[in-house]
Amino acid sequence: MVVVMNLTAGPEQIQAVQQRLEQFGFEIHIIRGVNRLVIGAVGDRRMISSLGLESMPGVEKIVPIMKPYKLVSRESKGQNSLVKVKDVVIGGDDIVVIAGPCAVENREQLLTAARMVRQAGAVVLRGGAFKPRTSPYSFQGLEEEGLKLLAEASAETGLVTVTEIIDEASLELALEYVDIIQVGARNMQNFRLLRAVGRSGKPVLLKRGLSATIEEWLMAAEYVVSEGNENVVLCERGIRTYEIATRNTLDLSAVPVVKGQSHLPVIVDPSHATGERKLVAPMARAAVAAGADGLLIEVHPEPDKALSDGPQSLTPEDFSSLMAELRKVATAVGRHIK
Amino acid sequence: MVVVMNLTAGPEQIQAVQQRLEQFGFEIHIIRGVNRLVIGAVGDRRMISSLGLESMPGVEKIVPIMKPYKLVSRESKGQNSLVKVKDVVIGGDDIVVIAGPCAVENREQLLTAARMVRQAGAVVLRGGAFKPRTSPYSFQGLEEEGLKLLAEASAETGLVTVTEIIDEASLELALEYVDIIQVGARNMQNFRLLRAVGRSGKPVLLKRGLSATIEEWLMAAEYVVSEGNENVVLCERGIRTYEIATRNTLDLSAVPVVKGQSHLPVIVDPSHATGERKLVAPMARAAVAAGADGLLIEVHPEPDKALSDGPQSLTPEDFSSLMAELRKVATAVGRHIK
Amino acid sequence: MVVVMNLTAGPEQIQAVQQRLEQFGFEIHIIRGVNRLVIGAVGDRRMISSLGLESMPGVEKIVPIMKPYKLVSRESKGQNSLVKVKDVVIGGDDIVVIAGPCAVENREQLLTAARMVRQAGAVVLRGGAFKPRTSPYSFQGLEEEGLKLLAEASAETGLVTVTEIIDEASLELALEYVDIIQVGARNMQNFRLLRAVGRSGKPVLLKRGLSATIEEWLMAAEYVVSEGNENVVLCERGIRTYEIATRNTLDLSAVPVVKGQSHLPVIVDPSHATGERKLVAPMARAAVAAGADGLLIEVHPEPDKALSDGPQSLTPEDFSSLMAELRKVATAVGRHIK
Amino acid sequence: MVVVMNLTAGPEQIQAVQQRLEQFGFEIHIIRGVNRLVIGAVGDRRMISSLGLESMPGVEKIVPIMKPYKLVSRESKGQNSLVKVKDVVIGGDDIVVIAGPCAVENREQLLTAARMVRQAGAVVLRGGAFKPRTSPYSFQGLEEEGLKLLAEASAETGLVTVTEIIDEASLELALEYVDIIQVGARNMQNFRLLRAVGRSGKPVLLKRGLSATIEEWLMAAEYVVSEGNENVVLCERGIRTYEIATRNTLDLSAVPVVKGQSHLPVIVDPSHATGERKLVAPMARAAVAAGADGLLIEVHPEPDKALSDGPQSLTPEDFSSLMAELRKVATAVGRHIK
């Protein structure tokens, strides 16, 4: 950490900062600049927030040098982590395609979707049973009934399943029925829930918050891993910007940035990011080319009858064509899709 | 609602949309433009998301005309709502100042802060017992112990109290000890929690999410009110933008915008918005001038020893001077501060 | 256009709006909703800003239905436009790679770069002679001397050239020496300059402004085309968001969005968008997979001696490897790179 | 400046960085941290961009300590600068109100507006003669004719005048007729124009760019001042964010932030920021309470007939009432309005 003192900081203020740092075990280096004094302090990055330095008289700003996360950092582990769920491995050479409807609506809809996405090459089935909806007047999901249908679809097709949980009660239910727990964008900083998911030990799909920095996203993953659960898959799903031509702005650069800073696998959700069916295919291809370890794609047997997010869902036919395109792009970048 | 058909939409596509709308009870008006056809549809705004129109062939876009919220809208109630908590009224002529430390740290800190902010004219005491922290390695709050200290401070000083809850368990605890429940920015779209807070009937301080639009914020309030709890106070606390000179960008325009669209009271938190002590006073004055019904200000007896957010906390002396300034501005805009 | 009247609009206010619209030749459709009245108006979209409707008493808001641009819209021309510069065609099956240093620094640097990028397969040479720099104390470019070096490099290698102009004086000079005129992000709404570039008739590379919406970007292109110059190539180069892990956020979704709304070719600049060498290759691959018609990539013979933007420049070796990767991705999406 | 080396940086890489720094006259301090080495370098901040350090092998990042601007910084001059134009002083105790129509439309409109705003207490008349418009099909201004009308209005009323220039040609014309030159948001980084304005020596109103950071805005001012023209007034006018309830988001915190970092006066434009008449008054009051040195307010004799930005223009009556309110707020914060 570097502590920048302001122009008018007097000797006793500098000394006070120095003492505070030494008291917490930091090693001190004083650098006298042209106009101001800078204190380099070597010690435990995680202590910074306890030091209260920014409130001390004479301190202009604190510049941290180390990253605030540790367990999920590339520095703590050079090799890529592999998250294994039954026979599916996320983070290896194979690009993992997760597909299915936004919401589980009924038995026929889900089973039809499951068979069709499996046929096209998806290895994980998605389906929402608990839907966080902006309006209290919108469809909120089938809850446990939806989870049972996911389990049934899995039993029939052999697909691994993933569903979003929205609180500890839904987590407990989901743990019984599905293979991967999804923490949605709105809960990325629901720290209690992250800890609970961490304690569960189940594989986790952690979506990036709508306006989360990559650093905050990795800190959220750190919450899960710090409870002993290393099976975290990150999912970029678009961030909020001023641009309204797309629902969100898909930040594909996040893929190589995360790959550089963390050992965790990262996948991309082009459906929620763009909100528009026609944009899903080009952005899915781009995600694979950028190095994503997987994709999360909404597919609905009859998108115009969907109870949630129909406009962004692919038909099974569209999805099947897309898979053919994705296989070519995967090959072009030295990866593979089942 | 207005449905814009695309250039190439054929008669059977137009008819299909028309039938779907009529089936849901909408009244139809066809407008033939120079290049494209537009369908005006009169009916229940809350049905739109169930119609799936955006996925129908030939549909280019849907333009809603009505606001998606109803109970919290100015149209549903012309008069300003007053939220009453003991002898404190939020939303009336008096500007309500809420003050206290970011986190409850110990008995002495909280009682000292309570006495001092009361002395200076605050009528509500804030203090965090459950702290949502970005890092799993930071101080997470005293939990129930903190709530007990808030109750003790209230008993001694007569101040009304407010504390943030972070899940249903903390909500249940808080209901026993404090007067106002705060839903933090990170939980603004935790819809389960909003419903639970709604069912509790307690006065609620609902902070705006870090990247929430004003419409989404009002929809979150609609969740609470739709459970029968009308005691909602909105709190603007800065939004995330590209600017890094301040922690967040305080969106003061939100005050008059909310006042125009809703009957609920709205207050402002300049401490979290700016993240810097020197900016709190000017932005607090500006908030009062913009028409805010109250302020939420962090005050700590010894900011440089604070376990959380010290750099933005005022000293009791600073707070006392600020109150004197605020009284003058309040008078200038025809309001009053105790 | 749809005019939404507010709840309290009286008959004489409605009539006044109606008269204003009719006076400007609009055809009127009145739709009476549950709570408010809506006026559908069919006429010339470009008249809207002259109508002053938003200021008329009783008007709540105006919702335009048509796009504000015309000449550049996909609706005005179904086929993709091809921009031809000597033997280079932008917008066809071939993906066009533009490469070279950020700034022209001296003869040796530019000629070395030109030979090397040509060798690797680039068909256009970039090099800045007029540098818009944030600081008045930074290197501002070689100006005409730089243009001459570009012309010399072109003569030797056969490469087409592109350079940024920053005002009418630099435009006039550039017209003498280079093949394509670049309008930078900071000048995307310098409307005088856009008109001048339009009148010149030269092929134009129009970068998206740092916080321009896609609609504003297309309106900027409309300025150029409305002067009779249809040779416009759009270039996505990252937008400003709250994320600081990358210099800007590359908005790759803009590629398919623009392709849907306009007939103009669109290319991508991953170097400026990311600001970091390691991110250039993955984002270049992603751009090709998303459907970009070309790439603009910074290459410097010795990046660590560059006078401008060294950290994002590739070495010639990196560039050569990248070209090999890009060819594979291009083939995977049915395109071709020389 | 602090240079952070990455984890794997070897001794020869560290030495190379050290040599580069010493070669440019920097004094070096090596700090060995737990995991990585950090180099503190004391020297001329303005040299940083020439060093190319970020491209050197082993370098992870560069953290500048000093601000990049110098002449405009508070550190270079402790006292507030006063910008004097005839008998108007901007930056002193008096809050300066600039008012008038968005665009000069005709003689009667401008003279009526001038008389009315003067009557209400404005001391500077605004009026656009060169309008940068998003659409090539919108009204572009009366140009020299408009400037002459401004001069006439000034002669009659004694008001000081300000108008926006959009290139060097319009600057030259404006210098003949008006007292203050406005550089608009879209030209805030038109560096050639900034230099030309600097050389002119005329007082300058420098609007903040739509997505400019405060640092970039001060750097733009540095361009003007570095040409010897210290008469710069900064103007906050809203920034682009994700929020669409207002045209832009007025960043009032920028007022105290700029006051802390620079000695230049700063005023606020609530009309363009909000884009809506009803929001102008509350945000104008808030700006004064936040410490602004002045306001820029659009007033039009007949807003619903305005050729540009009618919806945000006040009527003369509204403006007159607002002035009465502003005088009270100014008094409350120890300032004064004529």
**C134 Cβ contact list (under 8 Å, min separation 6):** D68, D189, D216, D219
Best mutation target among B67, B234, B242, B252 (most D Cβ atoms within 10 Å) is B252
A62 touches chain D (CB under 8 A): no
Closest CA–CA distance from residue B214 to any residue of chain C (Å): 17
Question: Residue C23: which residues within 8 A CB-CB, separation 6 or more?
Answer: none
D145 against D66, higher pLDDT:
D145
The answer to whether residue D210 neighbours chain C at the CB level (below 8 Å) is: yes
Please report the pLDDT score of residue C60 as a whole number. 85
- Is C274's CB within 8 Å of A288's CB? no
Of these ranges, A58-62, A209-213, C33-37, D35-39, the one predicted with the greatest mean pLDDT is: A209-213
B224: tokens are 């609470």
* Residue D9 pLDDT grade (very low, low, confident, very high; cuts 50, 70, 90): confident
- Min distance B243 CA to chain A CA atoms (Å): 13
ipTM: 0.94
Q: Which of B23, B46, B135 to mutate to test the interface with A (most CBs of A within 10 A)?
A: B135
Q: Compute the distance between CA of residue A145 and CA of residue D307 in angstroms, rounded to an integer.
A: 60
pLDDT at C213: 97
Q: Do D253 and B279 touch (CB under 8 A)?
A: yes
Q: What is the pLDDT of residue A37?
A: 86
Query: Are A111 and A156 contacting, i.e. CB atoms less than 8 angstroms apart?
Result: yes
- pLDDT, mean of residues B100-122: 97
Chain B residues whose CB is inside 8 A of the D331 CB are 332
CA C203 centroid distance within chain: 12
> What local confidence, expressed as pLDDT, does residue A192 receive?
93
Cβ D55–C310 below 8 Å, yes or no?
A: yes
d(CA A268, CA A297): 9
Q: What local confidence, expressed as pLDDT, does residue A93 receive?
A: 96
Q: Is B290 on the interface with D (CB under 8 A)?
A: yes
**A42 closest CB neighbour out of D31, D43, D211:** D31
In chain D, % of residues over pLDDT 70: 99
Nearest CA in chain B to D247: B253
Is D245 in Cβ contact with B214 (below 8 Å)?
yes
Residue of B nearest to D288 (CA): B286
The CA distance from D74 to D214, in Å, is: 14
Would an 8 Å CB–CB cutoff place B337 in contact with chain D?
A: no
Encoded tokens for B281: 């006073």
Distance of CA C160 to the CA centre of its chain: 19
Q: Which residues of chain B make contact with D288, given a CB cutoff of 8 A?
A: 289
Q: What angle do CA C128, C131, C137 make, to 5 degrees?
A: 140
Higher pLDDT, A20 or D330: D330
In tens, the pLDDT along D263-281 reads 999 999 999 999 999 999 9
- Tokens standing for A280? 């899903």
Strand partners, A28: A41
C-alpha span between C36 and A241 (Å, rounded): 32
Task: Please check whether residue A228 touches B, CB under 8 A.
Answer: no
Nearest CA of chain A to the CA of D326: how many Å? 32
Question: Chain D contact for C61, CB < 8 A?
Answer: no
User: Mean pLDDT over residues A1-13, rounded?
Assistant: 86
- For the segment A264-291, the average pLDDT, to the nearest whole number, is 97
What share of chain B in percent tops pLDDT 90?
72
Provide φ and ψ at C259, rounded to 5°.
-60, -35
Q: What is the pLDDT of residue C61?
A: 84
Q: Which residues pair with A297 in a beta bridge?
A: A99
Q: Mark yes or no for CB contact B249/D246 under 8 Å.
A: no
Is the CB of C288 inside 8 Å of chain A's CB atoms? yes
- b/e A222-242 (16+ beta carbons within 10 angstroms → b): bbbbbbebbbbbbbbbbbbbb
In the predicted model, residues of chain C with pLDDT beneath 70 are 49
Token pair, residue B111, equals: 């009682």
Beta-carbon contacts of A101 under 8 Å, excluding residues fewer than 6 positions away, are A109, A110, A113, A126, A127, A128, A298, A299, A300, A301, A306, A313
3-state secondary structure A132-161: CCCCCCCCCCCCHHHHHHHHHHHHHHCCEE
pLDDT in tens, C286-296: 999 999 999 99
| Closest-CA residue to B239 (of B214, B206, B210) | B210
Domains of chain A: 2-63 (3.30.70.1140), 83-332 (3.20.20.70)
- In total, chain D counts a number of residues equal to 338
| pLDDT greater than 90 at residue B159 | yes
The helix or strand, by DSSP H or E, that contains position D26, with its residue range, turns out to be none
* DSSP line for A98-145: EEE-SB---HHHHHHHHHHHHHHT--EEE-BSS---SSTTS----THH
Is the CB of A253 less than 8 angstroms away from the CB of C250? yes
pLDDT at position C135, please? 83
Parallel/antiparallel/unpaired status of strands C27-32 and C59-63: unpaired
| Structure confidence at residue B204 as a pLDDT band (50, 70, 90) | very high
Nearest CA distance, B28 vs chain A (angstrom) = 20
> Is B251 in the D-facing interface, judged by CB distances under 8 Å?
yes
The band of D314, judged by pLDDT with boundaries at 50, 70 and 90, is very high
Nearest to C319 by CA among C88, C99, C96, C94: C99
* Interface contact flag, D279 B253, Cβ < 8 Å: yes
Cβ separation C34–B43 shorter than 8 A: yes
Q: If pLDDT is split at 50, 70 and 90, which confidence band does A62 have? A: confident
- Min Cα separation D284/chain A (Å): 25
Average pLDDT over residues D36-58: 80
Least confident of A31-40, B274-283, C122-131, D257-266: A31-40
**Those residues with Cβ within 8 angstroms of residue B270's Cβ, 6 or more apart along the chain or in another chain:** B250, B279, B280, B283, B284, B287, B295, B297
In chain D, which residues have their Cβ closer than 8 Å to the Cβ of B254?
Answer: 243, 245
Work out the mean pLDDT of chain D and round it to a whole number.
93
**Chain B residues with CB inside 8 Å of C64's CB?**
none
Q: Which of C303, A44, A3 is nearest to D40 (CA)?
A: A3
> Residues C315, C317, C319, C325: is their CA dihedral positive or negative?
negative
CB contact under 8 A, C134 and D189: yes
pLDDT score, position D310: 78
Q: Which of D138, D189, D306 sits opposite C52 (nearest CB)?
A: D306
- The alpha-carbon gap from B63 to the nearest alpha carbon of chain D, in Å, equals 15
Contacts of D328 in chain B (CB under 8 A): 332-333
- How far apart CA C46 and CA D312 sit, in angstroms, is 20
B335: closest CA of chain A, how far (Å) = 33
Q: What is the DSSP string of C269-330?
A: -HHHHH-SHHHHHHHHHHHHHHT-SEEEEEB-SSGGG-SS-GGGPBPHHHHHHHHHHHHHHH
Q: What angle do CA A288, A294, A298 make, to 5 degrees?
A: 100
- The answer to whether B56 contacts chain A (CB < 8 Å) is yes
Determine the Cα–Cα distance for residues C278 and D258; give it in Å rounded to an integer: 36
Instruction: Give the C-alpha separation, D98 to D121, whole Å.
Output: 9
Chain D touched by B234 (CB under 8 Å): no
Cβ of residue B75 closer than 8 Å to a chain C Cβ: yes
A219 in contact with chain C, both atoms CB, cutoff 8 A: no
The DSSP H or E segment spanning B99 is strand B96-100
Question: Tell me, what DSSP letter sits at residue A294?
Answer: E
Strand runs labelled E in A166-254: 180-183, 204-207, 232-236
3-state DSSP helix/strand/coil percent for chain B, to nearest 5? Answer: 40, 20, 40
- The Cα D229–Cα D260 span in angstroms is 21
User: Is residue D215 within 8 angstroms of chain B, CB to CB?
Assistant: yes
**How near does any CA of chain C get to the CA of A245, in Å?**
7
Cα A204 from Cα A197, distance rounded (Å): 8
Which residues in chain A have Cβ-Cβ distances shorter than 8 Å to B101? Answer: none
- C window 175-194, beta carbon within 8 A of D: 186-187, 189-193
Residue C281: closest CA among chain A residues belongs to which residue? A290
Percent with pLDDT over 70 in chain B = 99
- Residue B32: which pLDDT band, with cuts at 50, 70 and 90? confident
Q: Which residues fall within 8 angstroms of residue B80, CB to CB, at 6 or more apart? A: B91, B92, B263, B265
Beta partners for C266? C234
* Cβ contacts of B21-30, under 8 Å, gap ≥ 24: B21/B51, B21/B53, B24/B50, B24/B51, B26/B1, B29/C29, B29/C31, B29/C40
Residue B66, phi then psi, degrees to nearest 5:
-80, 155
- Residue A8: count other Cβ atoms within 10 Å of its Cβ: 11
Comparing CB atoms, the residue among A43, A65, A211 nearest residue D4 is A65
Subunits adjacent to chain D (3 or more Cβ pairs under 8 Å)? A, B, C
Chain D residue whose CA is closest to B279: D256
Residues 137-166 of B with CB under 8 A from A: 137-140, 166
* Cβ pairs A/B, distance under 8 A: 120
B64 touches chain D (CB under 8 A): no
Say yes or no for a CB contact (<8 Å) between C65 and B2.
yes
pLDDT score of D104:
96
Nearest residue of chain A to residue B215 (CA atoms): A134
Query: Do the chains contact at D241 and A244, CB–CB below 8 Å?
Result: no
DSSP summary character for residue C208: P
Q: Which of B214, B215, B249 sits opposite D251 (nearest CB)?
A: B249
**Is the CA virtual torsion B105, B108, B111, B112 positive or negative?**
negative
Question: How many angstroms separate the CA atoms of C208 and C268, rounded?
Answer: 10
First to last CA, chain B: 46
* Yes or no, beta carbons of B55 and A167 under 8 Å apart: no
CB C28 within 8 A of CB C70: no
